Structure 1
Amino acid sequence: MINERRQRFGLYLAGLRRDARKSQRQLAEALCRISGTASVTRHEISRWERGERIPAVWLPALAVALDVPLQTLERAAAHARGEDIGTGTPSPAEALAYFLPEDVELGPMASSTGRRVGASTAVALADRAHGLRLADDVVASSDLLAPAFRELDAAVRLYRETTHSEETGRSLLSSIGEIAQIAGWIASDAGEHDQAARAYRLGVSAAREAGDLALVGNLAGSLAYQLSNTGHEDDGLSLARAALEEAGQEAPAKARALYLDRVAWAQTKAGNPQLAMRALAEAHEAMADEDSQEAPDWAYWVSPEELDVMDARVYTELRRPLRAVPLLREVLSRYDSTHTRELALYLSWLAVALVDANEPEEGAKIARHMLDLAADFPSDRTARRGRVVLAKLEPYRDVPEVREILDTYAA
């Protein structure tokens, strides 16, 4: 994750430099003038922009040279180093400026009919898609929903209103599919399930046309996950299985592990515990397989730790807390605290598992932490999980720690 952040910080710096209309050499010269030294070269600027190094003492001079607030640069650099994004919470506008800079050189789409675009535009759109994915880690879905669908609309118009080679066209379609997937995920998290389903279906069409079967599986699996969680368990299970089948045995290992995890969850929600456990085991086997192809960018977050979280969620749902609690504690002990929504969700499963293990006092302690995080990072998913946690605690109202939580969060 830290490597990913360093890369994003480098792209962010490069965008700021382009906004300031400076070459790397010109920026280096400006920093030397501002600082009164001659120790910065364009090669050092290049290292920063590639994410190989993160400037520290140069941040004040960079803020002056690039005409940006020093606090904004300090937050971005801290995030790149793996720390919190800064003291205080950045506004949605600040966070979006970091992950989705305005200058991506895609051109004026509304008036670009017939304009020919090439590989550089396709690469820029792919980077845009990845920026949106990273923004979802730290920006609330209510703040990201409208920008995400503007990104999707702009990507579709870029494809439709330009001419391009077949190869560039496939790349653009894949990026449309990726943006549709994350836009659907954001909409689902915001409780806009119909809007999410439309985005997922658009993405499936684009990915199929691009011949990107792994992405088709991710989109279909995302919709299956939503169905399983919103009272359509049978449909969710059918679609999760279809996503796994359509992606095929040749899908990258990380992607196949993700599809199998979604099958496991769909089986759990459909009331098939043995089939759910079998799918979990197959997900771990897939993750451990030697992979002959590189994992797609959208699978950057899939890891053995994330598979452990799904294991623990399934164990919790199946009322097997002695297996769930140790897994969740281990993962949470090293989880990235800037991913507030996911942290709150994982804590919710831990709280439920602890109550099932007849530890209501400890469950109440975890529940408080979860509910406080959820209040700071609004999400339909965390709100639903919060209600589940409080309902689980209700039978233990006579326990003082539990009663305090129930009274505090009754509304």
Structure 2
Amino acid sequence: MERLARHLHVAAARRGLIVSADRSRIYRWEHGRVGVPSDLYQELLADVFCVDPELVRAMGWPWWLPAYDHPFPFSPAGARAAHSEVLVELDRPDRRTFLVLTAGSLVGMAAAWASVEPERLVGALAGRRVDEGLLIWLEDSVNALPELANTSAPQCAGLLGAAMRVTINLLGTSRYDEPTERRLCTVLAQAAQCAAWLHFDQGRHASAQRHWRTALHAAHTADDRDLGAGVLSDLAYSATWLGHPRDAVNILAHARTRTRHATARSLLDVRRARALAVLHDEVGTARALSDAERELERGHAGTAPPWVSWMSPADVAVDAGRCWLDLDDPQRAASALDEGLGLLDPVRERTRAIMLTYRAHTALASHDVDAAVADTRTALDTALGTGASRCLDLVRNTLGTLLEPHRGAATVRDLRSYARHRLKAAV
């Protein structure tokens, strides 16, 4: 606190000012013992922390502080903070002020705006009422984007950004009744959730978490329990991926209590299985996978919410394969992955790349180097086609770590040479 006070005095002196910042004042700010710091003090703090003043104005106190990792409250003010955060993210996609949220805190369309009844959109953004036609168009547009994400992720990212920006502006400037607010928040939640996955696939985990946070707040405002639980399941999957499986189990336990649709529960059960497998809980993993299969059979594809309509037996199989691999049962893993690859929709190339990499791991565990090399080569080509760094990182790990003990084999040498050429060409 003393050091921060000294920095504040230096920042003030650069402006020709004298301030009375001391340890006591900073303590009161930190512990909420006084009101919000004045605009001047916030400007000086932003100067010390190297935070853009635009972010300070957009986010408000204390949300703009670097690495502020407490969850926003589920209130109108918290929702506005989440909206502001993602708007700043859209304006500054490479901003690195905020760190990845700690595990404990985890508990074009743009062109089309000008061609689809622009007077309705412009009028609503100017403060007039959001009408049914505009709502239906927004809903249909956002519902179509997840499929586009499978084939044209970069283009989809721009369209999702446009959808989020316009929807947040509509929520802030137009007139609407409560049912309309819920529908707008559902659109925002679905767009933010889809965008989060695109960021996650590119290894931009902090950005993904910010989008999931916005999606969770929007789903809460919309009173859509299934959608909110689905966003929590995404955060849980992210936690497992980043090495926090215990937190994932705890998140999913909360999420499942509020999940209504059987297909949504199936997704949560699959992700619970993944986390439990990392924790080497074989009994819990088997039970979660059994629950996932049963719930998926109970669900009806035609009635599943749009955000989980992609869930299929192939997804249960691929995650089961990863689970059995983590539990050191390569034969069972290979069987599940073979089943999943046979059932997978051809357009889902990112999932296919991941499944092939996992199957290469099972082949290596069974000492079948040639099969591992074949699957790794196909996984590399598939991952390069998607452009998803998450998929490429898995392939690189296989090439650099798992195949290292077999580096003397001719097939492995050929694969590594092929991979260097392909990856260099891609760059």
Aligned partner of 1:201 among 213, 230, 245: 213
Q: Distance in 1 between matches of 2:365 and 2:140?
A: 44
Q: Do structure 1's residue 238 and structure 2's residue 250 form an aligned pair?
A: yes
TM-score where L is the length of structure 2: 0.67
Deviation of 1:290 after TM superposition, in Å, equals: 6.1
1:32 corresponding residue in structure 2: none
Q: Do structure 1's residue 330 and structure 2's residue 339 form an aligned pair?
A: yes
Q: Distance in 2 between matches of 1:375 and 1:292?
A: 31
Q: Distance in 1 between matches of 2:397 and 2:329?
A: 17
Is the Cα contact below 8 Å between 2:277 and 2:324 reproduced in 1?
no
Q: Do structure 1's residue 344 and structure 2's residue 357 form an aligned pair?
A: no
Is the Cα contact below 8 Å between 1:319 and 1:353 reproduced in 2?
no
Q: Do structure 1's residue 396 and structure 2's residue 409 form an aligned pair?
A: no
Per-residue CA deviations over 1:43-95 (Å, capped at 9, x if unaligned) read xxxxxxxxxxxxxxxxxxxxxxxxxxxxxxxxxxxxxxxxxxxxxxxxxxxxx
2:128 corresponding residue in structure 1: 115
1:315 corresponding residue in structure 2: 324
Gaps of 5+ in 1: 1-95
Deviation of 1:342 after TM superposition, in Å, equals: 1.8
Q: Distance in 1 between matches of 2:207 and 2:283?
A: 33
Aligned residue identity for 2:133: S
Shift in alpha-carbon separation, 1:153–1:101, aligned structure 2, 3 A? closer
Is the Cα contact below 8 Å between 1:109 and 1:154 reproduced in 2?
no
2:150 corresponding residue in structure 1: 137
Deviation of 1:185 after TM superposition, in Å, equals: 1.0
Gaps of 5+ in 2: 1-107
Per-residue CA deviations over 1:311-357 (Å, capped at 9, x if unaligned) read 11211222212112122223323533333222211111111111112
Per-residue CA deviations over 1:99-127 (Å, capped at 9, x if unaligned) read 97864446445972321113322222211
More displaced 10-residue stretch of structure 1: 290-299 or 366-375:
290-299
Aligned partner of 2:168 among 121, 137, 156: 156
Aligned residue identity for 1:392: L
Bigger Rg over Cα: 2
More displaced 10-residue stretch of structure 1: 392-401 or 208-217:
392-401
Q: Distance in 2 between matches of 1:293 and 1:346?
A: 26
Q: Do structure 1's residue 254 and structure 2's residue 263 form an aligned pair?
A: yes
Per-residue CA deviations over 1:209-267 (Å, capped at 9, x if unaligned) read 111000001111111111211223332232222222232xxx11111101111111122
Deviation of 1:292 after TM superposition, in Å, equals: 12
Shift in alpha-carbon separation, 1:146–1:271, aligned structure 2, 3 A? farther
More displaced 10-residue stretch of structure 1: 254-263 or 108-117:
108-117
Q: Distance in 1 between matches of 2:404 and 2:112?
A: 43
**What SS class does the counterpart of residue 409 from structure 1 fall into?**
helix
Per-residue CA deviations over 1:193-216 (Å, capped at 9, x if unaligned) read 111111111111111111100000
What aligned pairs does 1:172-251 form with structure 2 within 5 A after superposition? 172-247=184-259, 251=260
What is the RMSD computed on CA atoms of the aligned residues? 2.6
Is the Cα contact below 8 Å between 1:173 and 1:209 reproduced in 2?
yes
Aligned residue identity for 1:171: R
What aligned pairs does 1:51-66 form with structure 2 within 5 A after superposition? none
**What SS class does the counterpart of residue 336 from structure 1 fall into?**
coil
Deviation of 1:192 after TM superposition, in Å, equals: 1.4
Shift in alpha-carbon separation, 1:265–1:103, aligned structure 2, 3 A? farther
What aligned pairs does 1:88-103 form with structure 2 within 5 A after superposition? 96=108, 103=115
Q: Distance in 1 between matches of 2:193 and 2:134?
A: 20
Identity %: 26
What aligned pairs does 1:290-309 form with structure 2 within 5 A after superposition? 294-309=303-318
Is the Cα contact below 8 Å between 1:268 and 1:317 reproduced in 2?
yes
